[in-house]
Structure 1
Amino acid sequence: MTFFGRTFDGQELFALVSLLTVLAFWLFVLPRERDYTRRFKQWEAGRRARRLAQESGGSASPDGRPRGPWG
């Protein structure tokens, strides 16, 4: 096979096809990986916010007064 004025043998042709296959693979995988990272960060921020809200709200009674032996 002649490509850009150069004759490729079987090994070089296989390397070219493999390189193009890996490039196509990453074109499909990279957007999914970015989406997964974005969703994980959102989930982590929500979890942290829920945890902080639970920790801050757990020390007061429903009517807003502190409770416990020193409250």
Structure 2
Amino acid sequence: MTVFGRTLDGQELFALASLLTLLAFWLFVLPRERNYARWFKQWEAARRAQRLGRDGDTTEPRRHPRGPWG
């Protein structure tokens, strides 16, 4: 088999097929991983808000101001 004018032997064909398979695998895995990370951040924020007793109400002033200027 020739690719770009170069003859490929069995080992090079296997390496090319492996790299293409790995690329296809990551194209399926990466979006799922990003969705899981997004879900986990939302879950953790909801858990923290529930633990602090805020339940999504952001009109309440903060108890501890941030920084020296409040």
TM-score norm. by structure 1 comes to 0.74
Match of residue 37 from structure 2: 37
Between the two proteins, the alignment pairs up a number of residues equal to 54
Match of residue 21 from structure 1: 21
Question: Which protein has the larger Cα radius of gyration, Structure 1 or Structure 2?
Answer: 1
Poorly superposed stretches of 4+, deviation over 6 Å: none
Q: Structure 2: which amino acid aligns with 1:3? A: V
* Uncovered stretches (5+) of structure 2, i.e. residues with no partner: 55-70
* Uncovered stretches (5+) of structure 1, i.e. residues with no partner: 55-71
1:1-71 to structure 2, matched below 5 A, reads: 1-53=1-53
Q: What is the RMSD computed on CA atoms of the aligned residues?
A: 1.0
Paired-residue identity, % = 80
Match of residue 66 from structure 2: none
Q: Which has the higher helix share?
A: 1
Shift of 1:3: 0.8
